[in-house]
Amino acid sequence: MSPGVIVESDGTKYLTREHANAFLGLIRASDSVFRALDRSLQDGHSISLHEYEVLLFLAVFTPDHTMPMTELCRRTPLSQSRVSRVVSGLEDVGLVRRSTDDVDKRAVTVTLTQLGLEKYRSAQDRHLRDLDEHLFSVLTEREITQLAAITTKILAAHHDRR
């Protein structure tokens, strides 16, 4: 049994207070920050946080603003079907364009349109301010470094189990 689990004489199991606080704190903090960032982007720019993330990957991480759908799925924390729905919604409003690969007709590439680049640029300052307000300003630089190390470790362990 894990050291963070208490087992009662009747077999009932539950987390220690510290482990429960760590687990619930991570989940609730993540959810709270996500909702605040998502709400702000929706209110100010009519895009969701997931849509912003797709625009960011296309605007920043590719020189030609084009990425294979498979790579986009690998980079985001979303399921393949969720990425497809997000991309479809962005395509419906003209922010991205999907096309089939010239070599592999089964492969799909996603390209950021000029309108999509403008939408990303118009939202980036607000998003960065919101990140600071809801996350970085409440932590010291040392805590930010620790949080980055902790979340990287958790994500790596999760990725290894896939």
Asked if residues 92 and 47 have their Cβ atoms less than 8 Å apart, the reply is no
Beta bridge partners of 13: 7
Phi/psi at 116 (nearest 5 deg)?
Answer: -65, -40
156 pLDDT above the threshold of 90 = no
pLDDT in tens, 16-53: 999 999 999 999 999 999 999 999 999 999 999 999 99
The 96-100 sheet, strands edge to edge: 66-68, 108-112, 96-100
Q: Using 50, 70 and 90 to split pLDDT, how confident is the model at 114?
A: very high
Phi/psi at 139 (nearest 5 deg)?
Answer: -120, 150
- CA-CA distances (angstroms) from residue 143 to 39, 138, 147? 26, 9, 6
Integer Cα distance of 144 and 125 in angstroms: 20
What are the residue boundaries of the structural domains of the chain, listed by start?
Answer: 47-161
Q: Using 50, 70 and 90 to split pLDDT, how confident is the model at 161?
A: low
pLDDT at residue 155, as a whole number: 86
pLDDT in tens, 62-86: 999 999 999 998 888 788 899 999 9
Integer Cα distance of 118 and 123 in angstroms: 9
Asked if residues 144 and 54 have their Cβ atoms less than 8 Å apart, the reply is no
CATH for 47-161 (1.10.287.3610, 1.10.10.10, 3.90.1170.40, 1.10.132.20): 1.10.10.10
